[in-house]
Amino acid sequence: MARFLLNRITLLFAIILVLGLASGLAYQVMYVQPEKACEAAGKWWAKEWRACATPMDLKRMPLPALPPAAPAPAPKQP
């Protein structure tokens, strides 16, 4: 009986160990590696969306062309 109980406890700890290792590996593959690869490429990593984005240089960004303004209405004369 004691041997059977010892085998079950050993199996339980082995299963817990395997699940822990699998979850750690999944976390590395799904969260850590994409973030490191994104930052190594010189881009920005957004943790909220788990997305890699290219930074924009706002100082060198061209201004959009504005449409011509409509002429002001002439004032009414009494």
Q: What is the pLDDT of residue 68?
A: 82
Q: What is the pLDDT of residue 58?
A: 74
Q: What is the pLDDT of residue 13?
A: 97
Q: What is the pLDDT of residue 33?
A: 96
Residue written as token pair 């690869």: 37
DSSP state of 52: E
pTM exceeds 0.75, yes or no: no
Give first-to-last CA distance, the chain, whole Å.
Answer: 112
Q: How far apart are CA 47 and CA 19, in angstroms?
A: 25
Structure tokens at 8: 């079950």
Q: How far apart are CA 48 and CA 8, in angstroms?
A: 41
Q: What is the pLDDT of residue 59?
A: 77
pLDDT in tens, 5-46: 889 999 999 999 999 999 999 999 999 999 999 999 999 999
